[in-house]
Structure formats: C-alpha cells, structure tokens
Amino acid sequence: MADVVTMDKIVSLSRRRGFVFPSSEIYGGLASAYDYGHYGVLLKENVKARWFEAMVRERDDIVALDSSIILHPKVWEASGHVEGFHDPLVDCRTCKLRFRADQLEHSRCGRKPSKHPGETDECDLTEPRHFNLMFKTRIGPVEETGMDAYLRPETAQGIFINFKNVAQIARRKPPFGIAQIGKAFRNEVTTGHFIFRTLEFEQMEMEYFVPPAEAEEWFRYWVEERFRWYVRLGLRESHLRVRPHGPDELSHYSRQTSDIEYLYPIGWSELEGIAHRGDYDLTAHSRTSGTKLEWVDGEERYTPHVVEPAAGVNRSMLAFMVDAYDEEEVAGRLRVVLRLHPALAPVKVAVLPLIPRNAEIATKARALYEELRRSVVAEYDDSGQIGRRYRRQDEIGTPWALTIDEQTLVDDTVTIRDRDSLAQERIPISAARAVVEDRLAADWTSPKAD
C-alpha cells in the first residue's frame, strides 16, 4: 500500500500544530528560512540528543566539541572552500528561474514542468556561472579596517583545527572521534522542499581519526552503524538505502563517500553522508598554519586518516516526520497521527482531565501532571472535548495519554491510551509514572507496514 504522506501534508501539519513556521512571515517571509515552534524545538532537541547519546555518551572513543561559527578566514582557504566551494548555475531568460547547471535533468522547466530546462524551444539558458556558496561577513566595527570572514558552511573544519588541542587532553589514541552539533550556513543556488534544503541549518558531524591502514575498515563500519541508527529510531528499512558516490561525484577532499538516502515524498534524497576524507584536512591545515597536526606516541608518528559521518538535524527531523505520518479511519472519521519513536516524540505523555470544570478531577489531574513532568516531557491538556484532545495529541506524536475521570475519584485509577493501537486500560494512578517510564524504555518498532 502506498504511503499517504505528501510534502504538502507535512507542511500543513507542521504549521497547524506549531512544529515549523515560515520565518519573518509578517513581512512576507524569507525564502528557505524557517522558525521552529514549541513542538519543532522539542523534536529537534530529541533528534540531537539521540545522536549525542549514540556518538558520545554510549561510547568511550568519541569526545565532544563546540567550535566557533566564525573561524579565521585562512581556515577556509586551507580547506579548499574559498577556491572550490562553488556551484555552476544557469539563468533562463524566458522564465527568469535559476538552475544548477549540473542538475538540469532533475529540474523542472518554468513554463513546462513536464520538461527539463533546455528541452523546449522557449528555453533560453545563459552560460554556466560559478556561485560561491559561503556567506561573507566582516569582522570589525569599521568597514575600512575590517577583515573579510565567512559563516561556516560546515562544522567539520572547526574539529580539524582543534585536533591537536583535543588529542593532548582527551587521553585517547586513534581510532578516536570528535563530535559536534552546530549551525552551518550555505548560500544555496536552489533551495526548497520545506526544511530539506535551507540557507541556515544544523549539522551533526563526527570526525573519526584512524591509523591510515585501518581507514577502509572504519569507513565500512560507520556506514553500517549510521544506517542502523535510523532503523533503531523507527525509520523503515524499505525507505532507506546506501548509495556509493561515483568518481565524478566525489568532493575534492573525499577518497570514498556513501550517502544514506531516504525515500522522501520528493524521491530518494541524501539523509546523511559518510566520507573517507583521507589525510586531506589535517595535511592542508598543517601546511597552511605551520602547526603539525599529527599523532605522536613515542616513536610512532603519522597523520591520521579521517572517516566522517555527517547528518543534518533538519533533514533527519523531516525524515522522521515523513516516516511517522499516517492516516486511518476511526469511528467514521479521519485520524491523522505521527507514529514517532517514543524517544523522539516531543511530548511523551498527556494528562487529560475528562471534566476540567470538576474541581476534584482537575486537582488530581494537575497533581499527576506535576509528578510526571519531573521525569518526562508531559503536557496538561484541558481545552475542548476529550476526542479533540486525543486527536491533537495524536498529531503531535504523543505516545500515551492519561485520562482522569469520575472513576478516578472512586478507585484512584486512570485510563492510559496508546497512540498506535488505541488500546486503553485502567492502571493505578500511583503507578502511572512507573508505567510511562517502563514503556518509554521498552523496545519499539513502527506499526506502519515496511
């Protein structure tokens, strides 16, 4: 059965439930810029937290870093970004649209969307021009004496230039990694598809420094490990694949790269890239800075090779939402539900007083909510009919709802409702926190067909 999800439905849900809003909307918006509402922030933070757990907290061989967004300009000269971080673009004089010259076969003509740019007699394309993807800024309050700098287009270089600092204090020898989550900025030629490609985004990158002879082995390891991370968090394997880059696709620094791709509503697209960068970066920064970025241990001395898994927070969030989106008919009405892995769900449990105006019910519900929120993200919802409150929680992906009703006043039990199965059972109110925590810690697989 084909998925019911479309990008339009995800955009609509995101706006309706406060996940994502167009940025600067009261001024007409800003293309490919978005603001994240309450549930969007919670979901993004959960994605980052699960990545940090897998990369740092649950391992002994990876440490964390938070490097500056604005680095010395020479960093980008040494890395090759100033010289090589360009995309070729063409303009159509007829429809006034701009296209990547190397991706015309994936673009749609402005006049005839069934055709590609250049395929019709109306198309009048310019010669390709190179377009610098980095945002330039100035350091210094006085324009004349300021220095040109750039907003970082990736977080990786901040890791490479700190290799010596980290290696001296981390008390680890290769293979070991340095992980970082942070903002990056790219002046993209073509943006769009909601939060899939934006001017400002967050990256989750890890540089794994290994002895040169072990690089191939570790490259294969990290491709498999990163693929399994997405599966463990609920993405269906049928919607994931690994695609190795061909020789003509490899970046200037890459000896080997594979993309983990996800089947978005826009088609198969990159979710995460794993690259074998060789010793390109450490060697380049050593040469330009005059500081040797090597591993030295007694008589042993070498420049490590690097394996880099690099994922986008925004793209990951979008993939999890797309994969979780589901529709079904319940009691003659359409139910929209986000079947998110409980570890990713913005809210873990909702507390719903059946009759909010009943003071006894409201008091017990509020007390339960205050207890639950000490250990999990909980939400107290007393607005509207109970059915509407259930639907609202379904749409934001809340796995469980606890309803306090008149029977609670008699026997101190509450109803716990499961988002995915819609099963309901009575449990003691005193055990509610433990039940939610146990279910949150249990293994989970998506109920959607693979």
Alpha-carbon distance 396 to 414, whole Å?
22
Which pLDDT value is given to residue 125? Answer: 84
Alpha-carbon distance 307 to 219, whole Å?
6
Say which amino acid occupies 149. A
Residue by residue, DSSP assigns 3-56 as ----HHHHHHHHHHTTSEEETTGGGT--TT-EEE-HHHHHHHHHHHHHHHIIII
Which pLDDT value is given to residue 1? Answer: 47
Which pLDDT value is given to residue 82? Answer: 73
Buried b (16+ CB within 10 A) or exposed e, 233-264: bbbbeebbeeeeeeeeeeeebbbbbbbbbbbb
Other residues' Cβ atoms within 10 Å of the Cβ of residue 12: 12
DSSP 8-state symbol, 389: H
Q: How many residues does the chain have?
A: 450
Phi and psi dihedrals of 64, rounded to 5?
-100, 155
CATH entry, 347-441, from 3.40.50.670, 3.20.130.10, 3.40.50.800, 3.40.50.2300: 3.40.50.800
Which pLDDT value is given to residue 190? Answer: 61
Say which amino acid occupies 67. S
Within 13 Å, how many C-alpha atoms sit on residue 421's CB side?
8
Alpha-carbon distance 199 to 406, whole Å?
52
pTM: 0.88
Which pLDDT value is given to residue 242? Answer: 97
Task: Specify the long-range contacts of residues 333-336, CB closer than 8 Å, at least 24 apart.
Answer: 335/391, 335/394, 336/13, 336/391, 336/394, 336/395
Which pLDDT value is given to residue 191? Answer: 61
Class of domain 7-70+153-321: alpha beta
Other residues' Cβ atoms within 10 Å of the Cβ of residue 223: 22
Tokens of 29: 């918006």
Which pLDDT value is given to residue 147? Answer: 84
Which pLDDT value is given to residue 332? Answer: 85
Which pLDDT value is given to residue 115? Answer: 84
Average pLDDT per block of 10 residues along the chain, 450 residues long: 84 95 90 93 98 96 95 87 67 76 75 83 81 81 79 93 90 92 83 84 97 96 98 95 88 86 93 95 94 89 96 96 94 93 98 95 97 97 94 97 96 96 96 96 86
- Whether the CB-CB separation of 400 and 348 falls below 8 Å is answered with yes
Which pLDDT value is given to residue 130? Answer: 67
Instruction: Tell me how many degrees the CA angle 128-130-132 measures, rounded to the nearest 5.
Output: 155
The domain locations on the chain are: 7-70+153-321, 347-441
- Whether the CB-CB separation of 157 and 79 falls below 8 Å is answered with yes
- Whether the CB-CB separation of 347 and 378 falls below 8 Å is answered with yes
**Same fold: 7-70+153-321 with 347-441:** no
